[in-house]
Amino acid sequence: MAETATKKPATGRRKTAVARVRLIAGSGRHTVNNRVPVEYFKRETLVTAAFHALTVVNAVGKYDVSARVHGGGLTGQAGALRMALARALAREDESQRGLLGREGLLTRDARMKERKKYGQPGARKRFQFSKR
């Protein structure tokens, strides 16, 4: 069995997407929900964004990444995976935390969909006002 780099999974969130990542010292194989990342995310730009933390700390071929993502859409899941991976790398090597932080990878993107309010058709939209 391969030596596990992180004892417990690192979690990342964006919008309503949640990603849990396990880093395993290895050859650089990546899986997202037991699939190849390009096959899962469908767009190369999302894969690049999701695994950006590995390129920042020059650890592209050093770790096998096993990720479980759910909720939201593909872009939100890629953002959640990006944060989870950065957190896992920061936990693995504390000296990389500053580099990952400067790159903005450890900051949670707090933008969420605003809830619909009662008595209105949407979050901000109002029913048409009639004076008479």
CA atoms within 13 A on the CB side of 87: 21
Which SS3 state, helix, strand or coil, does residue 113 take? coil
Mean per-residue pLDDT, 39-55: 95
Give the dihedral sign, CA 81/83/88/89: positive
Mean per-residue pLDDT, 68-73: 96
pTM for this model (two decimals)? 0.87
Q: What distance in Å separates the CA atoms of residue 124 and residue 102, rounded to the nearest whole number? A: 35
